[in-house]
Amino acid sequence: MERYTIKEFNKQYPSDEACLAEVFETQGHAGRPCPSCDKDTKFHKVVGRKCYKCQYCAYEIYPLAETIFHKSRTPLKSWFFAIFLFSNSRNGVAAKELERHLGVTYKTAWRMAKLIRGLFDEGDFTLSGTVEADETYVGGKRRGKRGRGAAGKTPVVGIVERNGRVVGKVAANTKRSTVQPMIERHLATESEIMTDEWWAYSKLNEAGYKHDTVNHGRKEYVRGKVHTNTIEGFWSQLKRSISGTYHAVSPKYLQFYVNEFAYRYNHRSDQQHLFHGLVDVAMMRV
């Protein structure tokens, strides 16, 4: 992945005006005819306002409308810098950290962080080849049972391609009626899938997959190429980051955090720095 440092960030985005111009150009307004008068025109930045005006009919375009920056009084460069912080972190960025970096209130920092995490949602896509599936449980430490069925824990189902991408989905439970449809939705038929012995995976062969298991209950973790070490490595990174950076995450927002770490994993080999992909998504209208 290319280097993209704070020095390069400040050179590319020295001011709010530079950030706004980037949004305007990325949305494709420059070089197009005016939507109002249909003339080949130039749009000029309106002084003191976050908009551009047609030189002929004074039609105004507001590039920030319907983006995560819409109606925000926070400087646009601060938004870009917050995205830069997320893109350069391996373990996430807490709202308190944004509050300290940007000099905003905690309420503002929390809202910004929530909207930026929304950029990490890649939607549904299909995995194929040799994959691993597993489930984990996220939540604070409590007395009593651990693992499956533990009180106060939220289940997350994960599927990962070996040397490829990962999908993680927060689930209501880990029953077969919940887990198998998730796998079928994200996994190409005739793929080879490795799991542990949990009964929720027991009908995958009938769904058209080549299915092998390791029996963790009997201390079997690797049998030739059959193992779930890849997905367990992803769970380890996710849990360490949540524990170390956020300490605790509400089940209501857990999917945002799972998406964030899945995005980093999926783009770990990109030549382009994560910042450029994220800010491009942020600049497009939702």
Closest CA to 275 of 102, 93, 130: 93
The burial of 140, by beta-carbon neighbours within 10 Å (0-12 exposed, 13-18 middle, 19 or more buried), is given as: exposed
Residue 145 covered by a domain: yes
The 3 state secondary structure assigned to 5-38 is: CHHHHHHHCCCHHHHHHHHHHHCCCCCCECCCCC
Contact 152, 92 (CB under 8 A): no
- When divided into structural domains, the chain yields a total of 1
What pLDDT score does 286 carry?
A: 63
Query: Quick check: 49 pLDDT over 90?
Result: yes
Contact 34, 44 (CB under 8 A): no
pLDDT-derived band at 124 (thresholds 50, 70, 90) equals very high
CATH of the domain at 225: 3.30.420
pLDDT-derived band at 20 (thresholds 50, 70, 90) equals very high
Largest CA-CA distance found in the chain, in angstroms, rounded: 77
Distance of alpha carbon 274 from alpha carbon 92, whole angstroms: 13
pLDDT-derived band at 151 (thresholds 50, 70, 90) equals low
Residue 177 covered by a domain: yes
Closest CA to 192 of 124, 127, 136, 265: 127
Contact 193, 132 (CB under 8 A): yes
Distance of alpha carbon 110 from alpha carbon 93, whole angstroms: 10
Backbone angles phi and psi of 121, in degrees to 5 = -75, 110
Q: How far is CA 123 from the centre of its chain?
A: 10
Residue 205 covered by a domain: yes
Residue 224 covered by a domain: yes
Mean of the per-residue pLDDT values for the chain?
Answer: 94
Tens digit of each residue's pLDDT (9 = 90 or more) over 230-243: 999 999 999 999 99
Residue 65 covered by a domain: no
What pLDDT score does 248 carry?
A: 84
Q: Which of 93-102, 107-116, 145-154, 226-235 has the lowest mean pLDDT?
A: 145-154
Q: Which domain holds residue 137?
A: 130-243
Query: Quick check: 147 pLDDT over 70?
Result: no
Residue 88 covered by a domain: no
Residue 25 covered by a domain: no
Residue 51 covered by a domain: no
Tens digit of each residue's pLDDT (9 = 90 or more) over 185-218: 999 988 999 999 999 999 999 999 999 999 999 9
Query: Quick check: 143 pLDDT over 70?
Result: no
